[in-house]
Amino acid sequence: MRILPLIISSIVTTGLVIALNTTLLLPAPLGKLLSPQHGVWQNAESSQASFSEELKLPQLTGKVQVYLDERLVPHVFAETDKDLYFVQGFLHAKFRLWQMELQTHAAAGRASEIVGKIALKHDREFRRLGMVYAAESSLKEMEKDPQTKLACDAYTEGVNAYIASLTESSLPLEYKLIGYKPEKWSNLKSALFLKNMSENLAGHDNDFEMTNAKNYFSQEDFSKLYPSYQDSLDPIIPKGTIYEKPSIELKVPADADSIYLNKSDLVVTTQEEKPDRNNGSNNWAVSGAKTKSGSPILCNDPHLGLNLPSLWYEMQLHTPQLNVYGATFPGAPSVIIGFNDSCAWGVTNGGRDVRDYYEIKFKDKSKKEYWYDSAWEKTEFRYEAILIKDSATYMDTVAYTVFGPVMYDPSFSGGRASNSRYFSVRWKAHDKSNELKTFMQLNRAHNYADYLSAISNMKTPGQNFVFANKAGDIALRTQGEWPAKWKGQGDFIMPGTDNTYEWQAMIPFEETPFQYNPTRNFVSSANQDPADSSYPYYLGRGYPLYRGIIINRRLQNMNDITPKDMMALQTNNYNVLAEMATPLLLNNINEKGLAVNEKNLLRLLKAWDYNNAPNSRGATVFDVLWKNFSKLVYDDEFKNAPAVILRPYESTLLQGILSDSAYKFLDNISTPEIETMTDIATVAFKNSIQELEKAQMEGSIEWSKFKDTRVNHLTKLEPLSRLHLPIGGGTHSINATKSNNGPSWRMIVSLTSKTEAYGVYPGGQNGNPGSRFYNNFIDHWAAGNYYPLWMMAAGEESSNKVQWKMSFTN
Amino acid sequence: MKFIVSVLVIALLSLAAGLFLPWWTIAVVAFVVTSLIPQNPLRSFLSGFTALFLLWGALSWFISSNNEHLMASKVALILKMGNPIIMIVATALIGALVAGFAALAGSFVRRK
């Protein structure tokens, strides 16, 4: 034996193995990662891969058959609910485990465990918002209901059965790349997933920004810049609807006018960009009187962040008592948007303000006692240990008052609150509720009464639930458990030293605006105001108006409607804001002295048909011009404003200039002259030239290239994302596809005796980036095409649509 | 002859071990095989190197072409390897180096 060479070469080998098995020397454990039998190669799914399998799982009570069709959509046939949801959990995990865990970690403020320090601010924010606290109180409510508990328990068992079957080589790709392993699923995680949706859809407020605006502007300017009702409003429940006298009499605090609605000192000093969260959605249903078949057609397209793997996973769930098809959430049991043999339903976000802040007066820095109703009350504390990858654990202490957690305090401003004061958040999503029951019941609904009973469980996030059934009913309800607010309540930070500013009651279910078989033969919603100003409760402001206007205009004029017509409508790129704004801008742009190319650009706008078509150049000119126009109108007023402030909504500007040719804010207050619409429109156009000419030079003047829609992988890693999609639309079009937000699931259901349904989402059924099913729907979606949705019936097992079969036995 | 046998045995045993054991057992396999089949150090190194270069290269090539290089074309960019071919070669080289050095070490066990 040659000792020295043996030792040296052994050390070299060991060193190599250690270097290649860890991240001590290399940025990635390349040996582990590239081993063909362990690493990422194992995630390279063969294009001939078979998904057929026979599985023996003792947790099951009987047999379950899963038929996977050519798009990898599972059609699950089980004998009992328990087995059904077990297999749903198993399949969600099999195809989407990594995203389920990532999203629930993020919801719980645990993202730092995976990605390290960069997520600490996110984690602190979510812990201070009380996400886990909210999920825990939801879970209690969910587990009180036997049906929900059974579904959640079975679902969790199914997810965990899949996790238990994982080996090093079968781990999802992202776990290997980032270098960690999945933990067990739990019912709390399903609750967290749903709370994450609440945060996404009902976790938006402008209270600090509005408080600053109120303090900065004169009362007259403030009411012009931030009106609560818009003139062109076409609410979800049409104007002229008569509302009963409200059953709740709200007591407006005696000092509201003098203290709350009047000026106070500035709250905010810091500046940080707030994420733009313009989630919107469309849904509508037409009655048989307007369709060719004589049966109702229901349509829905929820607009959300466009991500890979997609938020949605398509499924059919079948037992002897249940047959439902639609989009499911990997992370929770049941179908969320879909249809069964009797009816169909869909949602758009309600968007009312259900998150308010109260300023808390603590006795001292220990935060142990706070002043409330003329006494010092004891604070409760929640201690948050935030584990951080490659760093020491971060300890955060969150005080809870009668209102809720103290989200912002001197240790955490969230980029919007003051660094010297304390603000408790009162968030509707903290209240006890069981939203999952809504979907469990909708999946089994037969008629209008079932629908009402199902959606009465939907408290937060409030949603506009559209409904249609084969009996010919159509309905829409602006559902949610909404706080009854007096006018202005919760628009600004409220005093938290007594109960006078608290939410006094919830609006009773019976007083929720709704429509059931209306004479206009259609119902629709697109996140606009639920009702007009005759509705007796305060509805706040900031609802998007324009998609609703164009949807109603089109539906009004459509007859003999077919599903194909609905596809055209759902993918319609018409920009109704541009239709209203362009003529006025064009009339006022002074063409004298424009250079040749400037005239050419203006000609593009003149020739434009207001369609945000993918190849439209006029749409790009309008977009840039409108942006510059808006800047020019308001920049002078906001020049010295606090950084954390709300800019007026686009609808406010448009209404302003349409209704008043001498709109007050057109004048540039930093110049002695009084500027007119002509001055401002002309300068705005000139200000747009540089950006437009740059786009021309770079070949991105066409709208789809200019807008540059992408579907990001959840890590934002570009190779796993789909970039530069050739798709039109935009914020104010029915096809509300923005750069990274848009129709996340398009569905059309014609409720003929044999249901005819179509759908598509920008993703694919398999979350594995190494699968050909990872993003195979995206091009189809971008082109505005749909897939027929196949509601498989018993006896169709040998249909050529069935590609693979998974057999589960106990 | 010894060389070819060593290469074959290392490759086959590595393949079998990889089904159940961690990836680095290729080092154990190469070490044991070359300590049992004595060759000079260079030949030993080369037999480990060749065995794993061929095994990991062939496996990753086979997997990737069946996958139409979908996974590799994405992950190669993340790992800054440019394209699937580079990623396959890198895979082969990593296996080859580990097995080569382990095989070298193995060759010194019985050498005087």
Calculate how close chain B gets to A45, using CA atoms only, in Å: 6
Tell me the CATH architecture of domain A202-267+278-354+435-570: 4-Layer Sandwich (3.60)
3-class DSSP assignment, residue B83: coil
Question: Per-residue confidence at A415, pLDDT binned at 50, 70, 90?
Answer: confident
Calculate how close chain A gets to B2, using CA atoms only, in Å: 20
- Residue A20's closest CA among B68, B85, B71, B90? B90
Question: Per-residue confidence at A538, pLDDT binned at 50, 70, 90?
Answer: very high
**Averaged pLDDT, B15-20:** 95
**Model confidence over A374-412: pLDDT tens digits?**
999 999 999 999 999 999 999 999 999 999 999 999 999
**Whole-number pLDDT of residue B21:** 96
Measured CA to CA, the distance from residue A718 to residue B62 in angstroms comes to: 26
Chain A stretch 710-739, residues whose beta carbon is closer than 8 A to a beta carbon of chain B = 717-720
Task: Return the structure tokens found at A552.
Answer: 């109603």
Task: Return the structure tokens found at A163.
Answer: 């996790």
Measured CA to CA, the distance from residue A467 to residue A447 in angstroms comes to: 9
Q: How many A/B residue pairs have CB atoms within 8 Å?
A: 133
Measured CA to CA, the distance from residue A114 to residue A339 in angstroms comes to: 37
- End-to-end CA gap in chain A: 57
Q: What is the CA radius of gyration of chain B?
A: 15
Determine, for residues A13 and B101 on separate chains, whether the beta-carbon distance falls below 8 Å: yes
3-class DSSP assignment, residue A338: strand
Locate the domains of chain A by residue range.
Answer: 202-267+278-354+435-570, 588-707
Locate the domains of chain B by residue range.
Answer: 2-107
Question: Per-residue confidence at A707, pLDDT binned at 50, 70, 90?
Answer: very high
**Model confidence over A254-301: pLDDT tens digits?**
888 887 877 766 555 555 545 555 678 999 999 999 999 999 999 999
% of chain A with per-residue pLDDT over 90? 92
Which of the residues A34, A48, A174, A713 would you substitute to probe the B interface, choosing the one with the greatest number of B C-beta atoms within 10 Å? A34
**Averaged pLDDT, A344-362:** 95
Which residue in this structure is represented by tokens 């020397």?
Answer: A25
3-class DSSP assignment, residue A324: strand
Assign 3-state DSSP to chain B and report helix, strand, coil percentages, each to 5.
80, 0, 20
Q: ipTM score here? A: 0.97
Sheet with A335-340: strands ordered across: A53-56, A802-809, A64-69, A74-78, A313-319, A322-328, A335-340, A343-349, A463-469, A474-479, A514-516
Measured CA to CA, the distance from residue A523 to residue A529 in angstroms comes to: 14
Measured CA to CA, the distance from residue A109 to residue A476 in angstroms comes to: 35
Q: Which helix (H) or strand (E) holds A281?
A: strand A281-286
Please, are residues A421 and A265 in contact by the beta-carbon 8 Å criterion? no
In this complex, the residue of A2, A39, A44 whose CB is nearest that of residue B108 is A2
**Whole-number pLDDT of residue A269:** 54
Assign 3-state DSSP to chain A and report helix, strand, coil percentages, each to 5.
35, 20, 45
Quote the Cα angle for A534-A539-A542, to 5°: 120
Dump the DSSP string for A565-600.
HHHHHHT--B-HHHHHHHHHHHHH---TT--HHHHH
**Whole-number pLDDT of residue A593:** 87
**Model confidence over A178-205: pLDDT tens digits?**
999 999 999 999 999 999 999 999 988 9
Determine, for residues A34 and B87 on separate chains, whether the beta-carbon distance falls below 8 Å: yes
In this complex, the residue of A13, A37, A44 whose CB is nearest that of residue B71 is A44
**Averaged pLDDT, A335-343:** 98
Whether the bond into A29 is cis, omega within 30 of 0:
no
**Whole-number pLDDT of residue A228:** 83
Determine, for residues B105 and A719 on separate chains, whether the beta-carbon distance falls below 8 Å: no
Question: Per-residue confidence at A1, pLDDT binned at 50, 70, 90?
Answer: low
**Whole-number pLDDT of residue A2:** 80
Which residues in A43-193 belong to E strands, given as ranges?
Answer: 53-56, 64-69, 74-78
- Cβ-Cβ contacts under 8 Å for A18 (sequence gap 6 or more): A24
- Residue A634's closest CA among A649, A620, A622, A624? A649
**Whole-number pLDDT of residue A277:** 57
- Residue A720's closest CA among A308, A171, A114, A311? A308
- Cβ-Cβ contacts under 8 Å for A365 (sequence gap 6 or more): none
Question: Per-residue confidence at A419, pLDDT binned at 50, 70, 90?
Answer: confident
A6 CB neighbours in chain B (<8 A) are 105, 108-109
* Interface residues from chain B to A (CB-CB < 8 Å): 15, 18-19, 22-24, 27, 31, 41, 56, 59-60, 63-64, 66-68, 70-75, 77-79, 87, 90-91, 94-95, 97-98, 101-102, 104-105, 108-112
In this complex, the residue of A41, A48, A718 whose CB is nearest that of residue B63 is A41
**Averaged pLDDT, A645-649:** 93
Please, are residues A788 and A757 in contact by the beta-carbon 8 Å criterion? yes
Calculate how close chain A gets to B98, using CA atoms only, in Å: 6
Task: Return the structure tokens found at A651.
Answer: 């609808």
**Averaged pLDDT, A358-362:** 96
**Whole-number pLDDT of residue B111:** 62
**Is residue A511 pLDDT above 60, yes or no?**
yes
**Whole-number pLDDT of residue A665:** 96
- Find the farthest-apart pair of alpha carbons in chain A and give their distance in angstroms, rounded: 99
In this complex, the residue of B27, B64, B73 whose CB is nearest that of residue A17 is B27
- Burial classification of residue A433, based on how many CB atoms lie within 10 Å of its CB (0-12 exposed, 13-18 middle, 19 or more buried): buried
**Model confidence over B57-103: pLDDT tens digits?**
999 999 999 999 999 999 999 999 999 999 999 999 999 999 999 99
In Å, what is the CA distance from B68 to each residue of A45, A172, B64?
9, 19, 6
Dump the DSSP string for A289-322.
GGBSSSS-EEEEEEEEE-EES-S-EEEEEEETTE
**Model confidence over A230-251: pLDDT tens digits?**
766 899 999 989 998 999 999 9
Measured CA to CA, the distance from residue A337 to residue A804 in angstroms comes to: 25
A41 CB neighbours in chain B (<8 A) are 59-60, 63-64, 71-72, 91
CB atoms within 10 A of CB A546: 26
CATH for A588-707, among 3.30.70, 3.40.50, 3.30.160, 1.10.1400?
Answer: 1.10.1400
**Averaged pLDDT, A577-588:** 97
Question: Per-residue confidence at A566, pLDDT binned at 50, 70, 90?
Answer: very high
**Whole-number pLDDT of residue A258:** 81
**Averaged pLDDT, A63-87:** 98
- Residue A43's closest CA among A767, A795, A784? A767
B66 CB neighbours in chain A (<8 A) are 44, 46-48
**Is residue A476 pLDDT above 60, yes or no?**
yes
More confident residue, A670 or A261: A670
Measured CA to CA, the distance from residue A155 to residue A329 in angstroms comes to: 12
**Averaged pLDDT, B22-50:** 95
**Whole-number pLDDT of residue A265:** 61
